[in-house]
């Protein structure tokens, strides 16, 4: 089993890995649109934050031996359900070649109120 860590300070504080890759499955923990210092990117832009997160996840999948076409399921947590279409546009763009199953969950604000979306992902490893 492989554990992949990012520069997120939350990983050490809360005792988790950004991703865990088993023999066949990769799970990526809830991820926000932050830079290496933890600063929120694309403030006020749900679609932009969704894009940033999915780009980060694509890089993590590459490290773990997979890609966006092998994603089985995504779960988007958003703070404003009335803006769900914005997240949906970015998601559809990222997965145009191979759409995964998707869940959309409306949540209370995150620890940092500038975070508008977090995403979890599960994928298969390429064979």
CATH code of the domain covering residue 109: 3.30.1330.40
Number of H helices, E strands in the chain: 3, 6
Joined tokens for residue 73: 């399921």
How many folded domains does the chain comprise? 1
Summarised one tens digit per residue, pLDDT across range 36-50 is: 888 999 999 999 999
3-state secondary structure of 19: strand
Residue 48: domain span: 2-124
Residues 6+ positions from 54 with CB-CB distance below 8 Å: 68, 90, 91, 94, 119
Summarised one tens digit per residue, pLDDT across range 6-58 is: 878 778 888 999 999 999 999 999 999 999 888 999 999 999 999 999 999 99
pTM of the model: 0.94
| Cβ–Cβ under 8 Å, residues 124 and 65 | no
| Cβ–Cβ under 8 Å, residues 33 and 6 | no
Strands (E), the chain: 2-4, 19-21, 25-31, 71-78, 101-106, 117-124
């Amino acid at each position: 089993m492989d554990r992949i860590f990012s520069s997120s300070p939350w990983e050490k504080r809360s005792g988790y890995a950004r991703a865990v890759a088993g023999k066949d499955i990769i799970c990526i923990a809830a991820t926000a649109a932050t830079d290496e210092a933890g600063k929120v990117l694309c403030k006020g832009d749900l679609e932009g934050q969704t894009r940033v997160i999915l780009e980060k996840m694509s890089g993590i999948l590459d490290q773990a031996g997979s890609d966006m076409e092998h994603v089985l399921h995504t779960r988007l947590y958003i703070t404003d359900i009335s803006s769900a279409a914005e997240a949906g546009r970015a998601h559809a763009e990222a997965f145009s070649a191979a759409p995964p199953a998707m869940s959309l969950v409306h949540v209370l604000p995150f620890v940092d109120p500038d975070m508008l979306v977090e995403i979890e992902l599960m994928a298969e490893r390429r064979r």
